Structure 1
Amino acid sequence: MEKALKEYLREDESILWQSQPVAFPLMENGFKFRILRNWLITIALLGALLVTYCSRNDEWSMGFVGAVVILGAMIIISPLWERRAIMKQKYFITDQRAILMMKDKSLFSMELSAIDDYRLVSDMASQDCLVLGSSLFEDIRKQMRWRTCHPNNDRQSTNNQDRVDGVIFYGISNAQAAIELLSVNSSKIAA
């Protein structure tokens, strides 16, 4: 067990399930069109901006041109950064919480009693994605990878910055085992 996780667990808490993303292609299922569209729009808009700027100015500011090129490169590379960040995540369900470990070993958790609902999304990624917390349901099809990298926490709270209202376990191969644990937990809470 990783040191950061071991220190994060409560004294009486034990891990019941763990997983991490299965390797997935950048252009998988529900993301291929979105990524290609964003790349084409970025190239078109920034290209038009540069052509307009260069045609209207006799002396070009290399700082401006450089900034536009860097901005375009960042937008084009962002799906690669997201994929890399997701691939380094680890997911855990304990007898008390669902825990997300990010690539930098920062940890976020959601009390099992706070999980008001969950969904298994099977058509967006190569493997199943488990979405915990109904606060994520509304925009999950548009923002799944981004939300996976940015857990839904209360940024205004100065306490419990590691507590989240929603979390996504992306591209996991053993989602059914996690769902069974969650359904057992929800029946305990209801009783």
Structure 2
Amino acid sequence: MGTLNDQAVLQAIFNPDTPFGNVVGLDLGEEAEDEEVDEGGTFPQAQLEQCKALELQGVRAAEAGNLGTALERLGRAIQLLPERASAYNNRAQARRLQGDVAGALEDLERAVALSGGRGRVARQAFVQRGLLARLQGRDDDARGDFERAARLGSPFARRQLVLLNPYAALCNRMLAGVLGQLRRPRDGC
């Protein structure tokens, strides 16, 4: 079947216009971590549960397209526990969907800082920040964030690194050209 990198190269060849963001299988293969680690027990349990409930309401509102409600709920979660990284990461997604790239980047920076650059939240923040950098044409910044996310176990980030490799891109274009010629043979050959 091939490695994830092989699959990413084939995806780039056969679907070169696949958009970044809203990518099917973004978390494919990543371990399911529903909870972030609260190693020191720093958050009071009642506040943590309330914060998670607000965050879930915000995520569901964003998925339903109600970004105003999403931002309000995520903002309340942040007010409740301002040192919890997950709410910043989720608010960054809502801000990005609303078109507030600067606000999204600010929240991603905070999520990375609060997470210490480790764990599920940091992995997601690095991927989001890498996608935003890529969309802005800042491929070196994107590469750095995807490398960090890949080290934290993101297969999606590893696939993005393959796509950012200039030699792989050249090979992809050449192979796509050959495949195109095979699909449309010239008359008289």
Larger radius of gyration: 1
TM band (smaller chain): under 0.3
TM-score (structure 2 length as normaliser): 0.28
**Higher helix proportion:** 2
Higher relative contact order (CA 8 A, sep 6+): 1
**Higher strand proportion:** 1
